[in-house]
Amino acid sequence: LVKWVSERYVPSTMPLLGECDKVKGYEGGTVTLPCHYDYSYHGALSICWGKGEVPWSKCSDTIIEAKGNKIIFQSAKKYQLLGRVENGNVSLTIFNATMSDSGKYHCRIHISGLFNDEKNTVDLDITKGDNLAQLLHLLSEHSIGFCYHNSKKNHYIFST
């Protein structure tokens, strides 16, 4: 797979932290909010995903928290970390998305030392899809998505 990012091709195995700051999905579908770090340099780190603005430390309104491959806290089963942590993929997958899932999310990767944490904020917009879009989401367990730049709105979109 290849992601279209800023008018160039980037292999999907090497995504950039914060490359998609806006994600759109359909009610009842599955969406993935991207977050990655350099695992080969840092190794297994503690991470958390929260809803709302990213605070000075930790996560606010924590959804999921993990240390390496081990989930420490999970607010609901619909929130999963399905990426390969050993590749630095700590993206948040939300199953059966609802309109109330719309909003701002943040990923924090805890790196030792003062002010070293990596942070990523993503705006999620869940909408009611047409019948065809809803059917396609229901037929697939998990959507494969692509990130592309919308020049009219000047932001990246993770599209399924």
Task: Please write the tens of the pLDDT for every residue from 11-33.
Answer: 333 333 445 789 999 999 999 99
Residue range of the domain that includes 80: 2-7+15-159
Domain count, the chain: 1
What is the domain-level CATH number for residue 30?
2.60.40.10
pTM of the model: 0.71
Q: How far apart are CA 23 and CA 102, in angstroms?
A: 10
**What's the residue count for the chain?**
160
Helix, strand, or coil (residue 101): helix
CB-facing half-sphere around the CA of 15: CA atoms within 13 A: 29
Distance from the Cα of residue 154 to its chain's centroid: 19
- Tens of pLDDT along 120-146? 999 999 998 765 655 665 555 444 444
